[in-house]
Amino acid sequence: MSFLTLDHVSHHYFSKNSFTKALNNISLNVKEGEFVALLGPSGCGKSTLLSIIAGIIRQTEGNVFLQGKAIGESEMDIGYMLQQDYLFPWKTIIDNTLLGPKINKINTMELKDKAVQLLDEVGLRDVSKKYPNELSGGMRQRVALVRTLINDPKILLLDEPFSALDYQTKLNLEDLVADLLKSYHKTAVLVTHDIGEAIAMSDRIVMMNANPGSIAKVYDVPIELRNEVPFMVRRHPKFQILFDKIWDELEAKGSDKKAVEISYE
């Protein structure tokens, strides 16, 4: 059964002088516990699609359902992790992780133990009383991950969450995120430009076309790779085969195509 359903989703951006067709007729079913990556040339609508799934923007056409319910009925169902951590500098790490529930008027006393446990799981128990500026970029992203998981969201939306990190930190975080999501049996959609990251972390990879954004191809990641931690996936012979296939496909699409933009001027 489909956990997340995208049913003929299209999106147009309208501004005073122009109209951009960002997404055209996207249909996709994501199973519970599945990890799906969205990959494609710049401007193909990956972030737009993620914002629609998050309920931040409303699609122009089509429907999006999470467990059969239209998106937007409960914000708490969705966890969002971005390239920037958006931690509040004047709040301690533990208070930052509890901010979402606090805003939603949930009793944070009950969630404190869970926050401590999650901080422990990401190796940050000792810094819970510190402030964000005392932490490295990788540590801050781990706090952002805890903040996302504290609400126990049904689905995690990851918009290039590792792209601002150095390579080694990024690989370590990929392993950590994959491990945590697997142990909590979370469903996730990742937007990335990094083919290796998409293969290392995902069960399926959705390759998108630009101009306008649509689904070009869906790759099933071989089971041998899905059973490994991301770091080890990169060493598997099947990794390189899939990498080359996707690379050739992306090269063929070109990397700088813009979506259809019609100016009214």
Ligand X SMILES: Nc1ncnc2c1ncn2[C@@H]1O[C@H](COP(=O)(O)OP(=O)(O)OP(=O)(O)O)[C@@H](O)[C@H]1O
- Does position 259 interact with ligand X (CB under 6 A)? The reply is yes
- Does position 22 interact with ligand X (CB under 6 A)? The reply is yes
Closer to ligand X by Cβ: residue 13 or 184: 13
Gap between the Cα atoms of 214 and 26, Å rounded:
6
Q: What angle do CA 207, 212, 217 make, to 5 degrees?
A: 20
Of residues 10, 46, 156, 192, which one binds ligand X by CB under 6 A? 46
Question: What distance lies between CA 183 and its chain's CA centroid?
Answer: 17
Residue whose pair of structure tokens reads 């309208």 in the numeric block: 14
To ligand X, the closest distance from the beta carbon of 82 in angstroms equals 12
To ligand X, the closest distance from the beta carbon of 85 in angstroms equals 18
- Does position 58 interact with ligand X (CB under 6 A)? The reply is no
Take residue 44 and report the two structure tokens written for it. 């193909």
Residue span binding ligand X (CB under 6 A) among the ranges 40-48, 90-98, 103-111, 168-176: 40-48
Tell me the CA distances in angstroms from 40 to 75, 158, 164, 206, one per residue in order.
27, 15, 19, 8
- Does position 53 interact with ligand X (CB under 6 A)? The reply is no
**By CB under 6 A, how many residues form the interface with ligand X?**
13
Of residues 43, 55, 100, 196, which one binds ligand X by CB under 6 A? 43
To ligand X, the closest distance from the beta carbon of 2 in angstroms equals 23
Tell me the CA distances in angstroms from 146 to 38, 115, 209, 215, one per residue in order.
23, 7, 33, 31
Specify whether the backbone of 67 is left (phi greater than 0), alpha (psi in -120 to 50) or beta: left
- Does position 163 interact with ligand X (CB under 6 A)? The reply is no
Of residues 27, 42, 74, 227, which one binds ligand X by CB under 6 A? 42
Gap between the Cα atoms of 214 and 76, Å rounded:
28
Of residues 5, 20, 24, 96, which one binds ligand X by CB under 6 A? 20
DSSP 3-state of 128? coil
Site of interaction with ligand X (CB under 6 A): 13, 15, 20, 22, 42-48, 258-259
